[in-house]
Amino acid sequence: MTRFADPQRIRSLIEGLDAFTATPGRGTTRLTYSPQFRAASDYLRAQMESAGLSVREDAIGNLVGRLEGRDPGLAPLLIGSHFDSVPNGGKFDGPAGVAAGIETAFLFRDHGLTPERPIEIIAMIEEEGTRFGGGLVASRILTGELDTASLGSLPDDDGITMAQAMAAYGLDPAQAGRAVRQPGSVHAFLELHIEQGPVLEAQGEDVGIVERIVGMAQLKVTFRGQAGHAGTTPMTARCDALVGAVAALSRLPGLAYAMGRDAVLTVGKLEVRPGGANVIPDRVTFTIDIRAPAEEVVRELIGQCRAVIGQAGGNGLTAEVEEQMFVAPTPLSPELHDRLLRNAGQLGLKSRTMVSGAGHDAMILAGFAPTGLVFVPSHKGISHAPEEWTDYGQLARGIDVIFTSACELTLPAGQAPASPRPAS
Ligand SMILES: [Zn+2]
CATH of the domain at 27: 3.40.630.10
Q: How far is the CA of 90 from the centre of ligand 1 (A)?
A: 10
Bridge partners of 266?
Answer: 289
Q: What is the pLDDT of residue 415?
A: 86
Q: What is the pLDDT of residue 424?
A: 39
pLDDT band at 347 (very low <50, low <70, confident <90, very high): very high
For residue 2, is pLDDT > 70? Answer: no
Alpha carbon of residue 236 to chain centroid:
49
Q: How far is the CA of 251 from the centre of ligand 1 (A)?
A: 32
For residue 97, is pLDDT > 50? Answer: yes
Q: Which of 217, 193, 212, 184 is nearest to 127 (CA)?
A: 193
Residue 195 lies in a domain: yes
User: Which carries the bigger pLDDT value, residue 275 or residue 413?
Assistant: 275
- pTM, two decimal places: 0.88
d(CA 109, CA 103): 10
Q: How far is the CA of 317 from the centre of ligand 1 (A)?
A: 41
For 391, the domain range is 7-213+330-410
Residues 377/197, Cβ–Cβ less than 8 Å? no
d(CA 52, CA 119): 12
Bridge partners of 80?
Answer: 122
The answer to whether residues 358 and 315 belong to one domain is no
The answer to whether residues 207 and 115 belong to one domain is yes
Q: Which of 245, 209, 201, 198 is nearest to 224 (CA)?
A: 245
Residue 419 lies in a domain: no
The answer to whether residues 13 and 117 belong to one domain is yes
For residue 365, is pLDDT > 70? Answer: yes
The answer to whether residues 406 and 357 belong to one domain is yes
The answer to whether residues 283 and 271 belong to one domain is yes
d(CA 151, CA 101): 28
Mean pLDDT across 366-370: 96
Alpha carbon of residue 63 to chain centroid:
18
Q: How far is CA 264 from CA 199, 297, 309, 384, in A?
A: 15, 10, 18, 19
The answer to whether residues 250 and 118 belong to one domain is no
295-327 residue pLDDT tens: 999 999 999 999 999 999 887 999 999 998 888
Q: Which of 282, 307, 327 is the last residue of a domain?
A: 327
For residue 418, is pLDDT > 80? Answer: no
Q: What percent of the chain has pLDDT over 70?
A: 98
Q: How far is the CA of 111 from the centre of ligand 1 (A)?
A: 30
Residue 373 lies in a domain: yes
The answer to whether residues 147 and 198 belong to one domain is yes
The answer to whether residues 60 and 146 belong to one domain is yes
Q: What is the mean pLDDT of the chain?
A: 95
pLDDT band at 419 (very low <50, low <70, confident <90, very high): low
Q: How far is the CA of 360 from the centre of ligand 1 (A)?
A: 6
pLDDT band at 1 (very low <50, low <70, confident <90, very high): low
Q: Please give the tally of structural domains in the chain.
A: 2
The answer to whether residues 105 and 62 belong to one domain is yes
Q: Which of 327, 344, 365 is the last residue of a domain?
A: 327
Residue 424 lies in a domain: no
For residue 421, is pLDDT > 80? Answer: no
241 CB neighbour count, 10 Å cutoff: 26
Q: How far is the CA of 296 from the centre of ligand 1 (A)?
A: 27
Sign of CA dihedral 103, 392, 344, 328: negative
Q: Which of 327, 354, 387 is the last residue of a domain?
A: 327
Residue 392 lies in a domain: yes
